[in-house]
Amino acid sequence: MSNSKKYLQEELIRISGVNPKKCMRCGKCTATCPAYDEMEYHPHQFVYMIESGDIEPLLESESLYKCLTCFACVERCPRSVEPAKLVEAVRLAAIRKQGNNRLTANDIPALLDEDMPQQAIVSAFRKYTK
């Protein structure tokens, strides 16, 4: 593994607090994930791809923006791996790059309707924008 790859891997493990080595590949996280159909890489794949250093495809993946932060995979993993924390770490690594914001203030008017709660907008900004 190249140095920069190694560094990114360590960074993701450090900021997520997740130890991917605890994973026993049972797939329960993925089975319970409500965004399963829309995800190209599923929660268990985030875990093993980060463990093996295959991180580039995750950084580029639309899956990052389909995760609902519902914590189902965190709650139901029998080994307390907490995959959502890795998804979050990769998403941050992606959107923290300059020019990589997924959502900007200019996008909001087209998405608004009269009943939309403020909560939807601030939450989306937390997840999609730095």
| Interacting residues with another protein (CB under 8 A) | 14-17, 34-35, 37-38, 65-72, 74-75, 82, 84-85, 88-89, 92, 102-103, 111, 115-124, 126-128
Q: What is the enclosing helix (H) or strand (E) of 43?
A: helix 43-52
Question: What is the contact surface with ligand SF4 in residues (CB under 6 A)?
Answer: 23-29, 32-35, 43-44, 47, 67-73, 77-79, 81, 83-84, 87, 118-119, 122
If one counts every other C-beta atom within 10 angstroms of the C-beta of residue 3, the result is 7
The three-point CA angle 57-3-83 to 5° equals: 45
Between 8 and 35, CB nearer to ligand SF4 = 35
Between 8 and 72, CB nearer to ligand SF4 = 72
Q: How far is CA 122 from CA 41, 102, 118, 128, in A?
A: 26, 14, 6, 10
Partner that binds at residue 26, options ligand SF4, another protein, none, CB closer than 5 to 8 Å by kind:
ligand SF4
